[in-house]
Structure 1
Amino acid sequence: MLIKNQWRQVRQQMSPWQAWVHLFSLYLEVLLFNVRPAESADKAAARVSQLRYWFPHVNFARLGPINLIRFFVQLCWLVFIKSGVKSLLPEPEHDAKRVVLHEQIKDAEKRSKRSKKQRIWRFLTSKAEDSVRVFGNVEGYRWLNHSVTRVLFTMIAFVVALFAVQLPTSGTSQLVILLAFWAVALWVRDLKNRGAALLMMVLSTLVSSRYMYWRITETINWDVLSDTILSLTLLTAELYAWSILILGYVQTAWPLGRKVVPLPKDTAQWPTVDVYIPSYNEPLQVVKPTVLAALALDWPKDKLNVYLLDDGDREEFAKFAKQVGANYFARQDNSHAKAGNLNNALKHTQGDYIAIFDCDHVPARSFLQLTMGWFLQSNDLALVQTPHHFFSPDPFEKNLNMFRKNPNEGELFYGLIQDGNDLWNASFFCGSCAVIKRGPLEEVGGIATETVTEDAHTALKMHRLKYKSAYLNIPQAAGLATESLSAHIGQRIRWARGMAQIFRLDNPLRGKGLSWGQRLCYSNGMLYFLNGLPRLIYMMAPLAFLLLHTYIVYAPAIMIALFAVPHLVHAYITNSRVQGRYRNSFWAEMYETVLAWYILRPTLVALFAPSRGKFNVTEKGGMNAEDYFDWEVSRPYLFLVGMCIAGFLAGIWRLFAGPTDEILTVVLNIVWISYNLIILGGAVAVAEETKQVRASHRVDVKRPISVVLEDDRVFAAYLVDYSDLGAGIQLPSECPLAEGDTCQILMLDGISQNAFEVSVMSRRGDHIGVLYQVQDQETQQSLLRATFSRADAWIGWRDYNDNEKPFTSFKEVIAIGFKGYKRMALQVSPKIQPVLQVLARMGKAIRSLLPHTPGKEVHYD
């Protein structure tokens, strides 16, 4: 009756839409919150304002059909689906003591109501968690130090695993095992200890091995030749993926996390170090910062020699080296490319150790002080490798606008895999940002020249002679990433060809000198680059059924789901748990798809004719005047997209015209090919190169500095970005600097403070862009030490979330896939831009109808 009276009052003072909203607000408050409605219609506006907390996506100022639908959907969701609605209300303001007392009473009631079963369950859960922690405690495995014990334990573990893999494969048995394994995996996923990760790896290995056992024994149709050939082709690709999965678990099971070993206080005990900086065709502007930073390394000057190794034999490089005090070497020929360049310098220098930097990698001043301590502690240590860090975005980060938002393509290798290899004494040389001991390097004949990946091959040779390597997972140098997708692909082609050459010529699974851990780690590093053919097989596999009606997996659809889905889900959640900080879920498929077509031929040629192929140099320091779509690079993706669309349409036709007993099989293949289309859309999206007009890349920071004006006034400011040419500065609002002015900026370099003269090139609000006015070498080195060469310059760049969420990553990949098709459509016909805008608005409108979290700020038109 009360609400009826309210309706009569507000109907006279409000529009129909507002009256209906007010009425439902009364129902909401009465039914959910037991709040007595306001007696006066004057409070209607205030009531609508309160509703914005519960209906954040409803625009009460512009009520209409869309907003009314949003209101009804959200109301039904709150009333019938959302549990614990009252707990979402903003906390009322009470006296602090009353709140504490209320909480204590609630806790006491909970404790009194806890049943005996609940206490027993909590006890068992805590004991299980303790067991998981013990499972991941390195101290608990000392009993495996004896070789006989290790062999015996390995045999027992193998028998148990074999028993688990060969358990009955009927549908009921598989479902029971599936539910049990999933329950354990989901339970331990959020436990923050190494034992949980190890247990998830074990479960994933068992589930994937059961899937492979089932595939081999029960899913091959030997009666139809075409089915047999295509089925064995897919099975071969799956066996490859299974091997890479297991070897990946071996590599990443126990990252060593090596710490820094301090050097002796007496610098007389420090060894001599030669710094090699090889260059071929890079511009001097790219090479200058690296040479100057190397000369400024914190190391006794009488024990440090810097060598610029110019395979381009350029006069301007020789003049620059002489001017700054670096040594200069040039060769008469370019035989063996970078390896030959380094070996030539090795013959003419005498340092105890050799630090190698690519010419675009600027070392931090602390590089040698952090790496050299390990050599003085271990006489048989031959190599210390540090991460390759890049302060410019690679093509994926640049073209997809994800720089420093998600881990980049190389982060998994340098952040996790190399650290995992270090446990097995298998971390290898990566060509730059490393120190090598001269004696072992000369013992293996210098840098390897038999393959185009001379770095990894050199480390393999030293490991065969029982020398050790170390990986220090602290970025101590930074360089330029590849500028374009075509350059990126060219670099990966060289890596893939070289790894395949090593696998063919110096296979780590054969020969003497390597431990089993080293053999497995090296093998995985080389086999990974053979993924071109398996990746293409996965892309084309569903077409075999949808277009050719070939049964490549000869089994009922429900059995395929019971075996394949757990295999995939366990692999994804385990890799998310282990690798989440270094690579988000589903991104690996996009990276590999981009490269698959291009690395296929070079790797196959290298396996059968390892001497073929040449070294190609990755270009750095380029610019793009405007956005453009790389049709040449994207041609293979477009072909695959066309084939997958044909398969998708054929699958839709089969749903309606095909046999009814194949509907589930058709649905599974449509889902598979839809996923392939999403991944291919991401590959197409990367092919659109974005504009790059700056020759020098800016590094984003947030560092306090001081600005000194010409009249000696000093203002506290912040350095927000910098490059080797200029910087961006955030000023206080009262600072009067304007475009065309000059001033000085004061920056800390360790405990000392340096002043640098700059000219203001632009001002927007409180932000100014400045250009350095640096003339002499000493000032240039001081500037580098205060920016790129700071000891902590790259600490904190890995600020990604450890709790990576696969569903969130999957949504990101889906969005990128659609973005790729949108970009491709606009390139084909810019006139469809209005149509795409209409579709985008329709999609946004549909999303706006879905329920939203109360209290969340959402803005819809």
Structure 2
Amino acid sequence: MLVLDQDTSSLAGLAVVIGLALLLLPLASPKNAWVRILLLGLTAFLGWRYMLWRITETVPSSETAGIVDVVFGWTFVGIEALCLVSSTLAYMFLTRRKDRHEEADRNLGWWGSNPPRIDLYIATYNEELEVLERTLAGAQALDYPNVRVFVLDDGRREWLAEVCKRYGAEHRTRPHNNHAKAGNINYTLLQRLKDEDAPDFVAVLDADFVPHRNFVRRAVALFHDPSVGLVQTPQHFFNPDPIQHNLYIASAYPDEQRFFFEHLEPARDAWGIAVCCGTSSMVRVSALKEIGGLPTESVTEDFLLTIRLDSHGYRTIYLNEALTEGLAPEGLHEYVVQRGRWCLGMMEIVRNVYNPLTSTQLRFMQRVSLLDSALFWTTTFPFRLISLVCPLLYWYFGIIVVEASLTDITSYYLPYYAAVLITLNWISGGLIWPVLNDVSQLIAAWPITRAAAMGLFVKGPHKFRVTAKGGDRTKTVVQWPMMKPFAIFFGLTVLGLLLPLMSETAFTNVSRAGDGIRIILFWTIYNLLVLAITMLVCVERPRANRPQRESVEMAMISVGMQRFHSWVLELGVDHARVRGLSGLTAGALGTINLNDVGDVAVRVAAETNDGYHLTLRPTSEQRDAILRKLHTADLRPGAGKGDLPGMLRGWMRNLAAR
């Protein structure tokens, strides 16, 4: 008879999870509803099994520990339990998924010979010409027959009026900046409603988002149903965000918002709770008139717009097609400010407009949706912070917040953790990565926690801060104010590990932890890894030659009397990288023939291992054509899934460069 020791038997749950995954997942598609329900249900069950064990057996009691241990123990498990509530709601949403590609295909042209009138509003405040001309060039290329483009300029810049005229757009300003973006759109819409050609629908783009040619045509197709008040499309980014860029992993690790737009929004749509995310959306004007325009009670007017439309009987739906692409925040400070604003706006909604627990104006699923969003912002990021603090409480003060053995952790936590990683990565195609997910949360954890507290407990109105885009990004910048707290935590954690070697009292604390010391040690080392990578993110690398798109395209290059066939590997508005030719000298002049652009004047800038860097000298018409070529094609920019070997290569380059 085979007898397993305790450590081996504790791995049974983990083995069952891995075995089930190996049995089911190779045979099933992520769109298989029953497999999704089975795996997500199992994940939720294992999560609450773990949490029941945490609450009943691992929190220090006054009989065996001091009052400080008890207070910190219950605080930690309380936040952890709320995080699990939020996760469980997400698991429930993910059991379903709605795809509307075929619906959009079927209803192209539902309007017959009288296409609806569309206004495209591009809201801007302080964006540079380089940012705006991409968006305007894209808007100029829209393939819908009845659209007018308006640039709503809260910066009131005279030069922008001339730029708009060149692109066939209309430049609109207002005498004040009340209510920021929502007020800007409301002001122009109110004026347009007085015109004979008032719009039937309004599409909204941020100034840094470029529409693909088919954006308007595909979005308006879903308004065939009169109950649809708003159509949201995903946000894709043609540049890496600061985490991707600073760690050299842009080609191997998707941007932080991919899971939401690729998977959570289609799941929410299936439950009837898709949300407006501002840019890349289209709204029915009659519905806007009915609710009194875009709401202005929150700095996240987009989420509030969804709820307000729903309370008046209009649905928000989601079309998961790459119909626009935009500029992700390039600087770490801007990245953090943006997420802090999202959190602040959500808290304003909960505090001042729709409380998910008490409001009588919400459908049940809208209550669940709002509760889920509020829990995400108020628990996920404080939990990340307290996870840094808890091991330090032990190393410095002997405070134990979790009384558990390694065997128990293996029995209760590892099956749940494995189920989360396996299930979510199967559903998403590999978007959930340990450590990196924690880094993306930690980098903004304190600003978001502070914004959540301010939104809930400090009476508004709160100041709106625009996310800066563009600007000079050609130098390495160390974000010392952001790095400082992570460096302090890193130093305190390293010192905590050394204390048992330096202090007899600390060594006594180690003995008191018993078998649990191995858990605390692993927790501590994991925190060091996350902190180290977070500090690397705070060193902002230069961004040269932006924007550009990796491309593989045959092109003809002419220099003097010579003609060369080559491959274009990278293309920007003023530069290109080509391969497959040799014998050119730096400084030589010629032309490159680009599809949809024509012959563009070039100068050979430098030789590379397999070709050359070229400096492009396009005419203004060719520049616009290159912008359209780069940003309006029916393509999906950015990495679609995680690639561990690619990330490791990026990290090695990162370390070598430093």
Matches within 5 A, 1:597-636: 597-636=446-485
Q: Is the 8 A contact 1:727 1:770 kept in 2?
A: yes
Query: In the alignment, which residue of structure 2 is the partner of 1:104?
Result: none
Which string of whole-angstrom CA distances, capped at 9 and with x for unpartnered residues, describes residues 522-541 of structure 1? 33233222233221111111
Matches within 5 A, 1:834-849: none
Opposite residue 457 of structure 2, the aligned amino acid is F
Query: In the alignment, which residue of structure 2 is the partner of 1:382?
Result: 229
TM score, norm. by length of structure 2: 0.88
Aligned equivalents of 1:298, 1:663: Cα separation in 2: 69
**How much does 1:464 deviate?**
2.2
Q: Secondary structure of the residue that 2:299 maps to in structure 1?
A: coil
Q: Work out whether 1:258 is the aligned partner of 2:112.
A: no
Opposite residue 492 of structure 2, the aligned amino acid is M
Instruction: Say if 1:502 and 1:766 are closer, same or farther in 2 by CA, change over 3 A.
Output: same
Q: Is the 8 A contact 2:330 2:470 kept in 1?
A: yes
Aligned equivalents of 1:451, 1:211: Cα separation in 2: 37
Aligned equivalents of 1:209, 1:238: Cα separation in 2: 11
Aligned equivalents of 1:466, 1:348: Cα separation in 2: 26
Q: Secondary structure of the residue that 1:691 maps to in structure 2?
A: coil
Aligned equivalents of 1:746, 1:225: Cα separation in 2: 72
Query: In the alignment, which residue of structure 2 is the partner of 1:550?
Result: 399
Which string of whole-angstrom CA distances, capped at 9 and with x for unpartnered residues, describes residues 564-588 of structure 1? 3333333233333233433333321
Aligned counterpart in structure 2 of residue 487 of structure 1, from 334, 349, 371: 334
Opposite residue 681 of structure 1, the aligned amino acid is A
Query: In the alignment, which residue of structure 1 is the partner of 2:83?
Result: 241
Q: Work out whether 1:642 is the aligned partner of 2:491.
A: yes
Query: In the alignment, which residue of structure 2 is the partner of 1:5?
Result: none
Which string of whole-angstrom CA distances, capped at 9 and with x for unpartnered residues, describes residues 371-395 of structure 1? 221112x111111111111111111
Opposite residue 487 of structure 1, the aligned amino acid is E
Q: Is the 8 A contact 1:606 1:612 kept in 2?
A: no
Aligned equivalents of 2:473, 2:620: Cα separation in 1: 29
Bigger helix share: 1
Matches within 5 A, 1:355-370: 355-370=203-218
Aligned equivalents of 1:176, 1:402: Cα separation in 2: 36
Query: In the alignment, which residue of structure 2 is the partner of 1:222?
Result: 62
Aligned equivalents of 2:652, 2:372: Cα separation in 1: 29
Aligned residues between the structures: 633
Instruction: Say if 1:324 and 1:568 are closer, same or farther in 2 by CA, change over 3 A.
Output: closer
Opposite residue 344 of structure 1, the aligned amino acid is Y
Aligned equivalents of 1:400, 1:720: Cα separation in 2: 22
Instruction: Say if 1:558 and 1:718 are closer, same or farther in 2 by CA, change over 3 A.
Output: closer
Aligned equivalents of 1:239, 1:739: Cα separation in 2: 64
**How much does 1:797 deviate?**
4.4
Which string of whole-angstrom CA distances, capped at 9 and with x for unpartnered residues, describes residues 14-39 of structure 1? xxxxxxxxxxxxxxxxxxxxxxxxxx
**How much does 1:756 deviate?**
4.1
TM score, norm. by length of structure 1: 0.68
Q: Secondary structure of the residue that 1:390 maps to in structure 2?
A: coil
Q: Is the 8 A contact 1:532 1:596 kept in 2?
A: yes
Q: Secondary structure of the residue that 2:455 maps to in structure 1?
A: helix
Q: Secondary structure of the residue that 2:81 maps to in structure 1?
A: helix
Which string of whole-angstrom CA distances, capped at 9 and with x for unpartnered residues, describes residues 403-462 of structure 1? 121111111111211121111122211111111111112222212211111111111211
**How much does 1:722 deviate?**
2.1
Q: Is the 8 A contact 2:208 2:327 kept in 1?
A: yes
Q: Secondary structure of the residue that 2:251 maps to in structure 1?
A: coil
Query: In the alignment, which residue of structure 1 is the partner of 2:3?
Result: none
Aligned counterpart in structure 2 of residue 529 of structure 1, from 372, 377, 380: 377
Q: Secondary structure of the residue that 1:771 maps to in structure 2?
A: strand
Opposite residue 665 of structure 1, the aligned amino acid is G
**How much does 1:278 deviate?**
0.8
Aligned counterpart in structure 1 of residue 551 of structure 2, from 692, 701, 719: 701
Q: Is the 8 A contact 1:387 1:472 kept in 2?
A: yes
Instruction: Say if 1:557 and 1:550 are closer, same or farther in 2 by CA, change over 3 A.
Output: farther
Q: Secondary structure of the residue that 2:202 maps to in structure 1?
A: strand
**How much does 1:192 deviate?**
2.9
Instruction: Say if 1:429 and 1:773 are closer, same or farther in 2 by CA, change over 3 A.
Output: same
Q: Work out whether 1:678 is the aligned partner of 2:521.
A: no
Opposite residue 478 of structure 2, the aligned amino acid is F
Instruction: Say if 1:315 and 1:216 are closer, same or farther in 2 by CA, change over 3 A.
Output: same
Structure 1: unaligned runs, 5 residues or longer? 1-169, 749-753, 827-861
Aligned equivalents of 2:313, 2:631: Cα separation in 1: 36
Matches within 5 A, 1:407-426: 407-426=254-273
Opposite residue 774 of structure 1, the aligned amino acid is T
Q: Work out whether 1:188 is the aligned partner of 2:33.
A: no
Matches within 5 A, 1:164-183: 180-181=16-17, 183=19
Which string of whole-angstrom CA distances, capped at 9 and with x for unpartnered residues, describes residues 220-241 of structure 1? 3134321221111111121122
Q: Work out whether 1:405 is the aligned partner of 2:252.
A: yes
Aligned equivalents of 2:402, 2:653: Cα separation in 1: 30
Aligned equivalents of 1:248, 1:610: Cα separation in 2: 30
Q: Work out whether 1:459 is the aligned partner of 2:298.
A: no
**How much does 1:399 deviate?**
0.7
Matches within 5 A, 1:425-824: 425-505=272-352, 506-512=354-360, 514-530=362-378, 531-556=380-405, 558-650=407-499, 662-694=513-545, 696-707=546-557, 716-730=565-579, 732-733=581-582, 739-743=587-591, 745-748=593-596, 754-764=597-607, 766-776=611-621, 779-790=622-633, 792=634, 794-795=635-636, 797-800=638-641
Q: Secondary structure of the residue that 1:382 maps to in structure 2?
A: strand
Q: Secondary structure of the residue that 1:599 maps to in structure 2?
A: helix
Q: Secondary structure of the residue that 1:742 maps to in structure 2?
A: strand
Matches within 5 A, 1:337-348: 337-348=180-191
Aligned equivalents of 2:408, 2:383: Cα separation in 1: 23
Query: In the alignment, which residue of structure 2 is the partner of 1:331?
Result: 174
Larger radius of gyration: 1
**How much does 1:486 deviate?**
1.1
Q: Work out whether 1:273 is the aligned partner of 2:273.
A: no
Aligned equivalents of 1:503, 1:651: Cα separation in 2: 46
**How much does 1:721 deviate?**
2.1
Aligned equivalents of 2:560, 2:226: Cα separation in 1: 56
Q: Is the 8 A contact 1:464 1:513 kept in 2?
A: yes
Aligned counterpart in structure 1 of residue 129 of structure 2, from 270, 278, 284: 284
Aligned equivalents of 2:115, 2:460: Cα separation in 1: 42
Q: Is the 8 A contact 2:10 2:407 kept in 1?
A: no
Opposite residue 367 of structure 2, the aligned amino acid is R
**How much does 1:819 deviate?**
7.4
Q: Is the 8 A contact 2:119 2:199 kept in 1?
A: yes
**How much does 1:335 deviate?**
0.9
Query: In the alignment, which residue of structure 2 is the partner of 1:294?
Result: 139
Say which structure, 1 or 2, has more relative contact order (CA 8 Å, 6+ apart).
Answer: 2
Q: Secondary structure of the residue that 2:422 maps to in structure 1?
A: helix
Q: Is the 8 A contact 1:188 1:200 kept in 2?
A: no
Aligned equivalents of 1:737, 1:369: Cα separation in 2: 47
Opposite residue 584 of structure 1, the aligned amino acid is W
Q: Is the 8 A contact 1:293 1:789 kept in 2?
A: yes
* Farther off after superposition, 609-618 or 257-266: 257-266
Aligned equivalents of 1:649, 1:339: Cα separation in 2: 54
Opposite residue 174 of structure 2, the aligned amino acid is R
Aligned equivalents of 2:533, 2:265: Cα separation in 1: 27
Q: Work out whether 1:308 is the aligned partner of 2:142.
A: no
Aligned equivalents of 2:496, 2:274: Cα separation in 1: 44
Matches within 5 A, 1:96-115: none
**How much does 1:489 deviate?**
0.9
Q: Is the 8 A contact 2:118 2:202 kept in 1?
A: yes
Q: Is the 8 A contact 2:232 2:317 kept in 1?
A: yes
Which string of whole-angstrom CA distances, capped at 9 and with x for unpartnered residues, describes residues 334-391 of structure 1? 1111111111111122211111111111111111122221112x11111111111111
Aligned equivalents of 1:649, 1:817: Cα separation in 2: 28
In percent, how many aligned pairs have the same letter?
Answer: 27
